[in-house]
Amino acid sequence: MNIGKRLRNIRNHRNMTQQELGVKIGIDEKSAGVRIIQYEKGLRSPRKEYVEKISEVLNVMPEAINVPTINNSTDLMHLLFALEEFFDLRITELDNKVCLTFGKEVEPLLSEWYEKNKSLKNSDISEYEYKNWQYNYKRK
């Protein structure tokens, strides 16, 4: 997924048009929608200050917009290799299936995610609430 797809998903989650978002981040009304379309299609990348403005308007963490670009399986594998190096990602086998596990630093984060996901599946929270939690996640 690239920044454009992520931006479109979050903007749609907030029920905002491209035009509305562009205007709210300070782009002149005439070109506001076009600029957001360019971001979403990957024709342009928003500068850091625009990412910050977009995150404020959409009420999400800037990190929710700035996700690594993963367009294919090679990109995914290199992300996993980096996670192995920096976050103690381990590849193992469980019940004849290949599995990924993390070390002590990441385990509590995954447990928190698991509990939130379980709440969604049990209908204790809505899909909207779950997405808001994801888009605004910051380690406590």
Categorize the per-residue pLDDT at 1 as very low, low, confident or very high, splitting at 50, 70 and 90: low
Residues 30 and 53: their CA atoms lie apart, in Å, by: 19
Contacts of 100 (CB under 8 A, 6+ apart): 80, 89, 90, 91, 92
List % helix, strand, coil for the chain (3-state, nearest 5).
60, 5, 35
Residues 34-41 have a mean pLDDT of 96
How many other CB atoms are there within 10 angstroms of residue 104's CB atom? 7
pLDDT in tens, 77-92: 999 999 999 999 999 9
Query: Residues 50-75: pLDDT tens digits?
Result: 999 999 999 999 999 988 888 899 99
Sequence length of the chain is: 140
Distance in angstroms (rounded) separating the CA atoms of residues 34 and 69:
22
Torsion angles phi and psi, residue 90, rounded to 5: -125, 140
**Distance between CA 83 and CA 77 in Å, rounded?**
10
Q: Is the dihedral of CA 20, 25, 43, 71 positive or negative?
A: negative
Mean pLDDT of the chain: 93
**C-alpha–C-alpha distance, residues 75 and 79, integer Å:** 6
Q: State the pLDDT at residue 46.
A: 92
For the chain, the farthest-separated pair of C-alpha atoms sits apart, in whole angstroms, at 58
CATH of domain 3-65: 1.10.260.40
Phi, psi for residue 118 in degrees, rounded to 5: -65, -40
Residue 2 confidence (pLDDT) above 80: no
Residues of the chain with CATH 1.10.260.40: 3-65
